[in-house]
């Protein structure tokens, strides 16, 4: 029993798969008919073999683990500081006027330009990488937290005043919940930027291991299979981080649909 929507869905899947299938076919044919010299260009099967080999000897997992540990440490540190700073700036006009313009100026410096400076101040190891990642995560969180607090509807504040809430209650019960979607948008961005920054830091500060090192290593030895594997892993991690963030977001913001107003 196939309904018309099922047929439409199936057609969409087939259409979506057409172009990738076509590209893979060209790739496969290039080897099958020996159109290329195989020094750099590798058959599809070789990428899979390399994936299995590096997975079995643990190199892939150690690299991925090191990158993710760095990523999450920097993300946690940067977004926590960003969250605190965003609340302070959102609640105090004085602080906003004092620090805001400087913050907006520094924000304009292209992220990766910080790495050489940070490497002078914090060395070439994990400390420097985590400092850089925190910086990458800090900006989106501080800006979105600030924006979120500033755009809390006035009616809500008035309701809070009517209930004679203390400033702390006002913050916890009124301001932060209302600002939550914006704060979350910032956290979500911070996750993406931190992952980007992880790669950039590993390319430029080459000590230690990580997915960035796996890629650099593959490029230096002209191991196309290892580079392609690295790219797939990078894409997959980005995809997974996005998925997790979206899930948490929808779960946390579910209450917004049905406001019960319970204390």
Partner 1 sequence: MSTLTIALPSTEAPARGRLLRWNDSLTRFALSWPFPLAVLLAWYLAAEYEWLPPQILPPPAMVATTFVELMQTGELPDNLWISLWRVLAGFLAGGLGGLALGVLMGLSPTAKDYLYPTFRLIAQVPSIGWLPLLMMLVGIGEALKIILISKAAFVPIALNTYKGLQGVSTRFIEVARVYRFTRWQLLAKVVFPAALPQIWNGIRYGLTHAWLALVAVELLASSEGLGFMIVYGRQLYQLDVVLAAVVVVGAIGFTLDKLLAVIEQRLLRWRRDGF
Contact residues for partner 1, defined by CB under 8 A: 11-12, 15-20, 23, 40, 88, 91-94, 97-102, 105-106, 108-117, 119-121, 152, 154, 157-158, 161, 167-168, 170-171, 175, 195-196, 199-200, 203-204, 215-216, 218-219, 222, 224, 227-228, 230-231, 234-235, 238-239
For residues 144 and 186, the answer to whether their CB atoms sit within 8 Å is yes
Write down the least CB distance from residue 19 to partner 1, Å.
5
Terminal-residue alpha carbon distance, the chain: 50
Residue whose CB is less far from partner 1, 72 or 178: 178
Write down the least CB distance from residue 250 to partner 1, Å.
19
Write down the least CB distance from residue 129 to partner 1, Å.
15
Select from 67, 8, 108 the least CA-distant residue to 234. Answer: 67
Write down the least CB distance from residue 57 to partner 1, Å.
21
Write down the least CB distance from residue 120 to partner 1, Å.
6
Buried b (16+ CB within 10 A) or exposed e, 59-84: ebeebbebbbebbbbbbbbbbebbbe
Residue whose CB is less far from partner 1, 12 or 252: 12
Helices 126-150 and 59-91 sit at what angle, rounded to 10 degrees? 40
Write down the least CB distance from residue 248 to partner 1, Å.
20
Select from 255, 87, 263, 86 the least CA-distant residue to 160. Answer: 263
Residue whose CB is less far from partner 1, 30 or 231: 231
Write down the least CB distance from residue 110 to partner 1, Å.
4
- Which CA distances in Å does 59 have to 9, 12, 209, 230? 40, 38, 9, 12
Q: What are phi and psi of 222, to 5 degrees?
A: 55, 40
Q: Can you tell me the distance from the alpha carbon of 233 to that of 202, in angstroms, rounded to the nearest whole number?
A: 15
Q: Can you tell me the distance from the alpha carbon of 193 to that of 65, in angstroms, rounded to the nearest whole number?
A: 18
Residue whose CB is less far from partner 1, 222 or 252: 222
Residue whose CB is less far from partner 1, 12 or 256: 12
Cβ neighbour number for residue 234 with a 10 Å cutoff? 20
For residues 112 and 129, the answer to whether their CB atoms sit within 8 Å is no
């Amino acid at each position: 029993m196939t309904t018309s929507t099922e047929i439409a869905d199936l057609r969409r899947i087939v259409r979506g798969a057409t172009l990738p299938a076509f590209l893979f076919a060209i790739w496969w044919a290039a080897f099958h008919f020996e159109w290329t010299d195989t020094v750099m260009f590798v058959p599809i099967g070789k990428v899979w073999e390399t994936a299995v080999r590096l997975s079995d000897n643990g190199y892939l997992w150690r690299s991925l683990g090191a990158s993710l540990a760095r990523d999450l440490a920097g993300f946690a540190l940067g977004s926590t500081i960003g969250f605190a700073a965003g609340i302070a700036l959102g609640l105090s006009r004085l602080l906003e006027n004092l620090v805001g313009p400087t913050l907006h100026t520094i924000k304009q410096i292209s992220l990766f330009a910080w790495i050489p400076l940070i490497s002078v101040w914090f060395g070439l190891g994990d400390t420097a990488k985590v400092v850089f990642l925190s910086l990458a995560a800090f900006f989106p969180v501080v800006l979105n937290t600030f924006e979120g607090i500033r755009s809390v509807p006035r009616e809500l504040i008035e309701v809070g005043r009517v209930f004679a809430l203390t400033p702390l209650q006002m913050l916890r019960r009124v301001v932060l919940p209302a600002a939550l979607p914006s704060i979350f948008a910032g956290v979500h961005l911070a996750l993406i930027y931190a992952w980007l920054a992880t790669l950039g830091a590993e390319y430029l500060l080459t000590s230690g291991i990580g997915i960035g090192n796996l890629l650099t290593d593959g490029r230096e030895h002209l191991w196309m299979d290892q580079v392609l594997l690295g790219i797939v892993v990078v894409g997959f991690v980005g995809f997974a981080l996005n998925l997790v963030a979206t899930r948490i977001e929808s779960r946390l913001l579910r209450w917004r649909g049905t406001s019960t107003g319970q204390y």
